Chain A
Amino acid sequence: MPHFGGGHGGHGHGFHDEKDLGRMYDIKYLRRLWRYAIPYRKLLLFVIVLLLLMACIDLALPIMQKFAMDGAIATGSGPEYDNLVRTYKEDPDSLDPVVKERIETERSGRLNLLYIIAMIFFGSIVVQIVFRVVSLLTLEYAGQNIMLDLRMHIFRHLGKLNLTFFDNNPTGRLVTRATNDVQAVYEAFNAVVVQSAADVFRFIGIAAAMLILSWELTLVLFTTVPVIIIISLIFRSLHRKAFRQVRKTLARINAFLAENLSGIRVVKMFRRENENLGRFDGINGKYYNANISQLIISSVFQPIMSLIRVTAMGLLIWYGGGQFVQGKIDRGTLIAFIWYIEMFYGPIIDLSAKYNILQSAIAAGERIFILLDEKSTITSPKDPYVPATFHGKVEFNNVTFEYKPDEPVLRDLSFTIEPGQTYAVVGATGAGKTTITNLVCRFYDVQKGAVLVDGVDVKEWDLRELRRRVATVMQDVFIFSGTITDNIRMGEKSIAVETVMEAAAVTKANEFIEQSPEAYEQTVYERGANFSTGQRQLLAFTRALAFDPGVLVLDEATANIDTRTEQLIQDALEKLTTGRTSIIVAHRLSTIRKADCILVLSQGKLVESGPHDELLRKKGLYYKLYHLQFDSSASGSSRPQDRQP
């Protein structure tokens, strides 16, 4: 199984450490990223066309400047003409009237040309600005859409993954993938992918224009291009490595934050603030180091690139000057080349810089795709079983189950619960009771044997249909932020507010709900922080009831509720369990006494089963467990040590 991140048993590796990634693929990940862009390809094409048009204007501007130079400003100029003009300016009368007139017509002609060029210049600038605004907004629109799709894809994928995956990956890391990493992909996308097309075009255009003007000079400049390519390739892997480290350390920061903020109460109770700050400094420092390595690499890269550009300028001045002296090129060409040189190197250097920014996107994309490649094995089969009617028969057939290889939690477990029956599961801690509840609604798949609901293997069931019918109240009550109503119906719109209230009335949760200032619309903080543990459990209970399941699985859910509340709940439970198959895990034997059958587990094996009375008569493990509870609680005054043999 491809493992996303560290997980258990990593020797010398903590839970928060991620594996390093191996080889670097560009094309593979770029192609996958491109898939998200396909729905917006028309928009992107439109942007590219606009960018190309803008590039055309960019190209035209220096040509116009060259026209202005050649045709208006510097035609036939040179020291001779400059002297003439200077003389005209300083002392016009000293000049021959013919020369004077010639100068004046010449001047007005040139001025007209200049005027026209300036107007064209204005016009093209206006067009360019309009294009720029339109392309920028279109690009942003497409980019934000792509990012939205990618985030939704990741989110939906996360929702489907096996619970084992969540056991092995810290929340903060997954949050980083779904948010920060997507952001990194987007930033690169925006800066790179689309604009590169324009860069390529600009480069070709400029190169063509320069070749026409003087192929010799252009070829001289071209000698620098291979150098740029080689340097870019060398820096590519350096950049990627650095960016990978940045992504990895950022995920660690988030993982650390997520965990220590969730446990802030315990942190304070145990005065761990200083210790934690020290650890945070360590992680934060690693993130800083990763950023600095990345910075050093790009700081070396960029000056090298501009060095090459300015070197080319020197090359031009030297070689072009020589050509001019030899009369091979004219003054205007040389000037145009000086203009062009910026434009020639602009796209090349941009492209190489973008190629390296792209490494940041790929480094983030890699991690996202590894997450997306994480296969969910717990899914509905191709031709899923969808029942017409539901009875609620639950069977375990020789079930063997392990969370970690070679550490079986359940061994060859078999039992059958007829529809409407209530079964209780008892046993010492670690006997595998909770695991049973995890298997009925197929949170995990068994290694051997089968779990059947209504005679059909849960693996054959349509997963949604199965889980709709099996409600599980877990050991850890999880309460979401939102309102009380939101928490009870969990966004399931088919559950009416009235149903919520009815359910709350049955579990008696309505008592504290109605005491809250805003009753059912009362705001609930993250993890239900503004309610007591007992109240949270009542809420979870109400939630299960509101979903009106055919099979109810209760895992020690009554443990934190006081006697009176527990009494209320037991009344409710009785109502709840009638006509419903129920599996109840509890340590308090008194709460499960009324079960139709009791399963006694020991180390993952079923050692006894049968109704309460029958089991007592057997004088087996249940008998012992029962009397332990019974003796210590019935003889109110006797102290436990009195019972020590």
Chain B
Amino acid sequence: MRSLWRAFRYLKRHWPLLVIGLGALLLVDSVQLLIPKLVQWYFDALGTPRFTSWYILRTSLAIFAISLSIGVFRFLWRLTFVGVSFRVDRDIRRDFFDHLQKLSVGFHARRKIGELMALATNDLNAVRMAVGMGLILMVDAIFMGIVCAVMMLHISWKLTLFAALPCPFITILVLTVGRVLHRRFKEQQKAYADVTEHVQETISGIRVIQGYTQEENFAEQYSGLNRNLFRAAIRVAITWGMFGPVVHCLVSIAIGILLYFGGKAAIFGDISTGMFVAFFMYLQMIAWPFMAVGWLVNLFQRGGASMLRLSEVMDADPDIKDAPDAIEMESLTGPIEIRNLDFKYDDTEEPVLHDLSVTFEKGKTTGIIGRTGSGKTTLIDLLLRLHDPPEGTVFFDGTDVRKLKVESLRRSIGIVPQDSFLFSDSIAQNIAFGRTDAPEELIQHAAEVSQLIDDIRGFPQGFDTLVGERGVTLSGGQRQRTAIARALLLDPNILILDDSLSAIDVETEEAILDKLRDVRKGKTCLIVSHRILTVKDADNIVVLECGKITQSGTHDELVEKEGLYADLYRRQQLQRELEQFESDDAKSGVK
């Protein structure tokens, strides 16, 4: 319940609408209360000289006028209250998405997309219902309850006391059942998120699933999750299904008691017949607030449970953010200095990087060579602050990266990530991803440097070709080259290529490296690879092994030294010699 306050706070900014809605709601309720009064007078007049045709006409006209105003005002309050609830829905979803984007990559690795989708739609809908319908019910119930009670007190205080009989029971019920309901709703929403998650992951991996004919196994897993959801929903239904009728029962008992005692009062002449009828009508009206309490509990507990789940994400600390005294830098150029960097992920025990010290000189190209799992990509992530390095370990232009604005840091870096993720947009828009207003010539130029232009010209729709989700309609090489163009378009001072030539054939790689030679002039450039060929032209090469830098120097220096680089070189060389041998063999065969 307390969690819902957060949702209600969103109402504040829409207060003028709420005031209008509240006014309309109260008007509707007040006017509605007049009808029993009119009926009371009508019945009391029945058979008396007052009961003229003019009187009849007047009463029916009054009722008609009342109904007309009820119609208008009901429209008004529905529109404002429910409308505001949709605004809250929209605002929370926006803030939710905004916050998701602020959360670090580490958070996103642990959270499943399907679950976040369920939060943004299903859970948020429960919150909206609590805010919109909940608010209406609450205001309505309180107002109607009080006014009906006053009207009834006016007719007979004794009878009113009887009518109040269910109150304490309902209160106790609300408090005890509410807690159980809250827990069960939370289970249900979680189960729903699990189902969403599974669908999301299955569709994403459909190729592998179909390829290994595991459709049935995944359907079975899905069936299991669905069964969980089924059980959770039934558990909610049992709690809630009991709650509603029990409240109804209590109210009905009160009505039954009143039927007897009220009737008795009428028989004994304590109240008139007309008063009895009116009293009964009010009683039926006051039954509504009692019922509303039941609904309210349902809506608030469901909404509260969902808001709690949303809050878990919205309160998650965006651990990577600007320090209070963060420095804004127009542009960073390097050098990038790393001093005694130790780094481990929260959920692993082994450090990924260990006492790492290196300087990437300004305007120079550094190659980083290392095996699978040696920490290359982690190092790049730390430079971009996708994960935070410890303070005092990474320096750009002499400033600790933790003291820089994230914005100014990332603005200066153009990166081609290892996983060349593209968006389901046109090729042009993918290249201009980091700068949506980029002029056409720049996009074209970036495509030329990355050797993508010929492929694009081959597509019937050229730059407007849609690439599908993750770029599925492009080949692996085309995707990597699009990713390269995307980084080049920014014309960054610092360029990082994270093992991003792997799916590109050698001929094209050569051409790209060649073109890059001009582009990277004056830029601080990092080229991560596991292949000697890609890095051997670098001004400096560092070798990363198990999170440590074991060697550094130029290609020629490293080849001379004993170590991984020379080892890799020899291995790759050996392979080549073998090939050369075979090739010579083949050539001599031709001769």
Contacts and interface: CB of A to CB of B under 8 A. Distances in A.
A and B physically associate: yes
Interface string B214-248: 11111111110011011001100110011011101
B208 A268 contact: no
A372 interface: no
B176 interface: no
A467 to B, nearest CB: 4
Contact of A472 (B97, B211, B569): B211
A535 B246 CA distance: 59
B105 interface: yes
24 contacts: A14-B466, A15-B469, A114-B260, A129-B249, A133-B242, A137-B241, A179-B192, A253-B121, A262-B421, A262-B470, A267-B101, A291-B89, A292-B86, A299-B78, A303-B78, A338-B277, A430-B458, A478-B204, A529-B109, A563-B568, A626-B583, A636-B569, A637-B556, A641-B517
**Main secondary structure on chain A at its contact with chain B?**
helix
A314 B61 contact: yes
Interface string A238-278: 00000000000010011001111111111111111101110
Given A72-B267, A148-B227, A472-B211, A306 B67 contact: yes
Nearest to B370: A562
Nearest to A136: B241
Contacts of B317: none
B114 A271 contact: no
B309 interface: no
B210 interface: yes
B326 interface: no
Interface in A259-313: 259-273, 275-277, 280-281, 284-285, 287-288, 291-292, 295-296, 298-300, 302-304, 306-307, 309-311, 313
Contacts of B192: 179
Interface string B456-481: 00101100001011101101111000
A260 to B, nearest CB: 8
B63 to A, nearest CB: 4
Interface string B406-417: 010011010101
B205 interface: yes
A78 B44 CA distance: 9
B440 interface: no
B20 interface: no
B113 A261 contact: yes
Closest 9 CB pairs of A and B: A534-B372, A310-B67, A562-B530, A85-B269, A491-B217, A318-B60, A159-B215, A616-B586, A321-B56
Nearest to A427: B505
A111 B56 contact: no
Contacts of A309: 67
Given A481-B201, A633-B576, A311 B64 contact: yes
Interface stretch (B144-152, B290-298, B342-350): B342-350
A463 B373 CA distance: 37
Interface in B267-283: 267-270, 272-273, 276-277, 280
Interface in B569-591: 569, 571-573, 575-577, 579-580, 582-583, 585-587, 589-590
A303 B586 contact: no
A613 B67 contact: no
A266 B434 CA distance: 9
B511 to A, nearest CB: 9
Interface residues on B, range: 35 or more
A347 interface: no
A159 B116 contact: no
A217 interface: no
A120 to B, nearest CB: 10
A266 B218 contact: no
Interface in A62-109: 65, 68-69, 72-74, 77-79, 82, 85-86, 88-89, 107
B102 interface: yes
A415 interface: no
Contacts of A258: 113, 117, 200
Nearest to B227: A148
B581 to A, nearest CB: 10
Nearest to A89: B269
Contact of B273 (A74, A616, A627): A74
Interface in B179-220: 192, 195-196, 199-220
Contact of A269 (B252, B264, B415, B510): B415
Contact of A270 (B273, B349, B486): B486
Contacts of A430: 455, 458, 475, 477-478
A183 B532 CA distance: 55
B133 interface: no
Nearest to A163: B207
A174 B270 CA distance: 68
A428 to B, nearest CB: 6
Interface in B30-59: 35, 39, 42-43, 46-48, 51, 53, 55-57, 59
B418 interface: yes
A331 B256 contact: no
A368 to B, nearest CB: 13
Interface stretch (A18-26, A44-52, A553-561): A553-561
A566 to B, nearest CB: 8
Nearest to A316: B60
Contacts of B112: 481, 526
A17 B158 CA distance: 64
A178 interface: yes
Given A338-B39, A478-B204, A567 B221 contact: no
A564 B582 contact: no
A69 B215 CA distance: 68
B476 A111 contact: no
A79 B47 contact: yes
Nearest to B48: A79
B276 A73 contact: yes
A534 B101 contact: no
Interface stretch (B161-169, B442-450, B496-504): B496-504
Interface stretch (B10-18, B69-77, B330-338): B69-77
B121 A250 contact: yes
Interface stretch (A150-158, A381-389, A447-455): A150-158
B18 to A, nearest CB: 15
Interface string B292-334: 0000000000000000000000000000000000000000000
A170 interface: yes
A67 to B, nearest CB: 11
Contacts of A155: 199, 202, 218-219, 222
Contact of B82 (A85, A287, A299, A534): A299
B535 to A, nearest CB: 12
B46 A564 contact: no
A341 to B, nearest CB: 11
Given A180-B121, A322-B53, A441 B241 contact: no
